Amino acid sequence: LESGEIRRVGDNESFRIDLRVVCATHRNLPEMVQEGEFREDLMFRINTFEIMLPTLRERLDDIPELACHMFRRFRKSNLPDERLFSPEAIAALQAHVWPGNVRELANVIEHACILCDEPPIAPEHLPSRFASRQLRPQLAALGPMSLRELELKAIHESLERHHGNKAKAADELGVSLKTLYNKLNQTGALEKSA
């Protein structure tokens, strides 16, 4: 890297090369050097010009524009950007942590394009891992409560939505009818729900 010369394996003569090395990493190289996981001299040789690109979670304001750009890569549409995604879908995208950065966003948008017949893309078109993100503000509004209280509240709300039909409530909650009855028995709520 430093001399601009290489020698082939088994050859006695070196020859010059014109070489530019472009490196990328998501790791913290100075930290790796301190921990002995990366050679300090190599870091200084390759670190001629550093470009720091913030992660997607550090630039949440870019998500609507990136999402619209990606939507147009997967689908043809003459609609203006603000009509491609519902505000709730954009909020769900901005609430996500994005460990996979822009590649993950592209996959999520492609997933939504497959499920959505016509824009706007709504939260239900996003992968299921986004559903829990949408519940966070609602859970925060409930205030502090125990897991048992939260579980009981979910059961009662489901029973109300299904007019007391325990089979439908159990299906919505993703539990068996027997489990629902057990939960109601444990809390003494079975008599109240009958």
Q: Which residues of 82-107 are buried (b: 16+ CB within 10 A; e: fewer)?
A: eebbbeebbebbbebebeeeeeebbe
Is 84 in contact with 50 (CB distance < 8 Å)? no
Q: Which CATH architecture has domain 144-193?
A: Orthogonal Bundle (1.10)
pLDDT score for 132: 52
CATH number among 1.10.8.60, 3.50.50.60, 3.40.50.1820, 3.40.50.300, domain 56-133: 1.10.8.60
Mean pLDDT of the chain: 85
Residue 10 has pLDDT above 80, yes or no: yes
This prediction's pTM: 0.54
What are 16-62's pLDDT values in tens digits? 998 888 998 888 899 999 999 999 999 998 888 888 888 898 999 99
Question: Cα separation of 94 and 36, whole Å?
Answer: 36
Query: Higher model confidence: residue 1 or residue 94?
Result: 94
Domain limits, the chain: 5-46, 56-133, 144-193
What are 113-137's pLDDT values in tens digits? 999 999 999 999 999 887 655 444 5
- DSSP 8-state symbol, 83: G
Question: Cα separation of 155 and 151, whole Å?
Answer: 6
pLDDT score for 186: 78
Q: Taking residues 184-189, report their average pLDDT.
A: 73
Confidence of residue 141 (pLDDT cuts 50, 70, 90): low
Lowest mean pLDDT, pick from 51-60, 75-84, 138-147: 138-147
H or E segment and range at residue 7: strand 5-7
14 strand-pairing partners:
7
Instruction: Specify the residue for token string 């300090």.
Output: 40
